[in-house]
A and B are shown apart, each in its own frame.
Chain A
Amino acid sequence: MMAGEVRGMHLALCIKQVPQKAEVIAEEGRYTLARQGVPSQINFHDLAALEMALKLKRGFPLHVTVLTMGPPSAEEALREALALGADKGILITHQALSGSDTLATSRVLAAALRRLRPSPSVVLFGARSSDSDTGHVPPQVAEDLHLPFVSCATNMEVSGQELLVWRRFGRWIQTLRVKLPALVSVLGMDFKPRQVNIREIPLAFEEKEVLVWGLKEIGLKEEEVGLQGSATRVRRIRLSDEKRRGQLFKGPPQGAVRLILRALEDKGVL
């Protein structure tokens, strides 16, 4: 299913493009994101995951495949990942996929990951996304694929047939030894995203490949994906009505201090 050679270990990274500003459009009772004409951006934690993959790549032969599920415009996010250093991209796209909740999304991504040849030894996700964040997709994909799963990784190293993972879990900082193949979600902590090297951009578009997979390629039916394949749906969206808009004081600092002190006293802080 995959053209081209994979040298060394195969790592698959699932990313999600996050629209910077989004319009929500009602489509006869289906409230989903309208992503057209919106500049996309790779989700912060996915970038951290990519960074971790690229760091591993410096140590030994590692082929990094980046996958994303989305509309055709999501190819931009893949090209960005390729320009940053990934080797191959796979865009999973189909009309029927829209409206997928995490159950359906995890089914789709698991199906796609199953189709990869060679089978990846490591599958990475960003731990959370900033848009309709649930953080649920990675563990659900792991359940689907029956892979060992470690969440919130902050660092990792390959050690023979195993992965050494450092992570932040609840109030613990843990070090784990993980059997491969495994799925890991990455938490971007104290992480500065690297900039795309201008020289890498033509490479990303001309030499590196992005495959486009639809339902047929991943072996799923329409009933299993999208709104049909989801257990939840959004019945309505409303604006957050959390606007306080109290008094806005524009006077001199002394007056400001007096007001603040009074508020603090009222609230029993002072």
Chain B
Amino acid sequence: MKGEVWVVDEGASFGENRVALELLSKGRELARKLGTRCCAVVLGCDTREEVMELIAHGAEMVYVAQGPHLSQFRPRVYTEVVCRLVHEFQPEIILLGATDTGRELAARVAKRLETGLSADCLDLEIDEETGNLVQLAPAFGGRLLAEVICPERRPQMATVRPGTFPQLPYDPEATAPVLYLDAVDAELEEGWEIVAMEVAPEEDRELESASVVVSAGAGVAEGGAFHLVVELARALGAQLGGTRPLVQRGLLPQERMIGQTGRAVRPKVLITVGTSGALQYATGIRGSEFIIAIDKNPTAPIFDEADLGILGDANDILPRLVSAISSVRRENDLEAAHG
């Protein structure tokens, strides 16, 4: 069907952080406005579980390209498959997750099709008058929001970071047609081969999906309070993150860096300590439900980002906080044992 809204699942967007499922919720909203349907495009080797979950989370149709030649992300092959699909079915909009594979695939497809692509969109809407997709993308490291449009070329393409949109609830009653595509005989060489591969430390995924995060900035490192922050994270069972200066000092690995060029966190609660609130960092934390900021400096911009600001010295506050939390935890455990 021409003019559909597509969500492309290239494997990483499903397996790693489920962003394809999140995109379906926004995709359906856009599709309703355009009077069309929201479809998923799946590329992979064994796609059974993905296809069912995509349908359960809102896909109204699924295009599946499957086969052993698609078992790993091979950019040229994947790009070829997606472009052929686009030529055949002419979607209006294509959304992809801003994962490493998603970004590369989106960029290549957009270039091949000579169409527009915006990145890391924070929101998407349909312009009532023109029917164009309005893509809200961060600009200038996040201080500004740009409304980007692709007025003439089609499809209109956008990538979205994991955690930006919610998932629709699982619907076991959902059913959808699935088109299993004939194999594309694309014997495309990438010009490279992988000679070794290992899984990176679990840490980064934990941070992005954590419900409680404790984050430290340069203020903590300088004041020698980093170990207190670590204790706080442990006391709360929280994931630990921080700013670039901490990574540069070797206190945290790169995977735990929060910010525009690092991780974006979306916890229920974020406690940010000694992070002055530079823009680069702020963009990484804005998805948090509730932000508690502790800082010595009353004019620190971080207080603009906080729901609860605490002006004070981490060295004074954190030890007390840790011991208070530990006693509450002990009480809760006792209650649970006797309750």
Contact = CB atoms under 8 A, between A and B. Distances in A.
Q: Does chain A bind chain B? A: yes
Interface of A: 22, 24, 31, 44-45, 101-103, 106, 128, 130-140, 142-144, 147-152, 165, 168-179, 182, 189-190, 192, 230-240, 242-250, 253-254, 256-257, 259-261, 263-265, 267-270
A140 B305 CA distance: 35
Interface stretch (B44-52, B193-201, B217-225): B193-201
A175 B195 contact: yes
Nearest to B127: A235
Contacts of A22: 140
A135 B119 contact: yes
Contact of B110 (A140, A165, A169, A240): A140
Interface string B306-332: 111111100011001100110011001
A124 to B, nearest CB: 15
Contact of A174 (B194, B269, B312): B194
B254 A189 contact: yes
B94 interface: no
Nearest to A143: B111
Nearest to A171: B200
B147 A235 contact: yes
A101 B116 CA distance: 8
Interface in B131-174: 134-135, 137-153
Contacts, number: 253
A103 B324 contact: no
Highest count of chain B CB atoms <10 Å: which of A139, A231, A238, A261: A231
Given A170-B16, A175-B196, A231 B150 contact: yes
Dominant SS among interface residues on chain B: mixed
Given A237-B145, A261-B324, A179 B311 contact: no
B149 A143 contact: no
Nearest to A179: B191
A254 B320 contact: yes
30 contacts: A133-B261, A134-B107, A139-B103, A139-B108, A143-B79, A143-B111, A148-B190, A165-B192, A171-B16, A172-B198, A172-B200, A175-B197, A177-B193, A190-B247, A231-B153, A232-B117, A232-B135, A234-B148, A244-B306, A245-B306, A248-B309, A257-B317, A260-B321, A261-B324, A263-B292, A269-B268, A270-B325, A270-B328, A270-B329, A270-B332
Contact of B100 (A149, A151, A247, A249): A151
Contacts of A237: 139, 144-147
Interface of B: 12, 16, 75, 79, 99-101, 103-104, 106-108, 110-112, 114-120, 134-135, 137-153, 190-200, 204-205, 211-212, 236, 247-248, 250, 253-254, 260-261, 268-269, 271, 280, 282, 286, 289-292, 294, 298, 303-312, 316-317, 320-321, 324-325, 328-329, 332
B305 A24 contact: no
Contacts of A142: 108
Highest count of chain A CB atoms <10 Å: which of B110, B196, B204, B294: B110
Contacts of B303: 245, 248
Contacts of B212: 269
Contact of B305 (A134, A178, A179, A242): A242
Contacts of B112: 143
Highest count of chain A CB atoms <10 Å: which of B106, B120, B146, B150: B146
A168 B269 CA distance: 29
Given A133-B119, A177-B192, A257-B320, A233 B111 contact: no
Highest count of chain A CB atoms <10 Å: which of B100, B135, B149: B100
A139 B307 CA distance: 40
A138 B108 CA distance: 10
Contacts of B247: 190
B118 A256 contact: no
Given A171-B200, A240-B138, 14 more contacts: A135-B103, A139-B75, A139-B103, A147-B191, A149-B104, A152-B100, A170-B99, A170-B100, A234-B147, A240-B145, A245-B303, A249-B309, A267-B289, A269-B268
Contacts of A177: 192-193, 195
B143 A259 contact: no
B244 to A, nearest CB: 9
Given A170-B16, A244-B291, A140 B142 contact: no
B237 to A, nearest CB: 9
Contacts of B271: 260
B290 A263 contact: yes
Contacts of B332: 270
A102 B107 contact: yes
Contact of A238 (B12, B144, B190, B329): B144
Contacts of A172: 197-200
B254 A190 contact: yes
A235 B115 CA distance: 17
B120 to A, nearest CB: 7
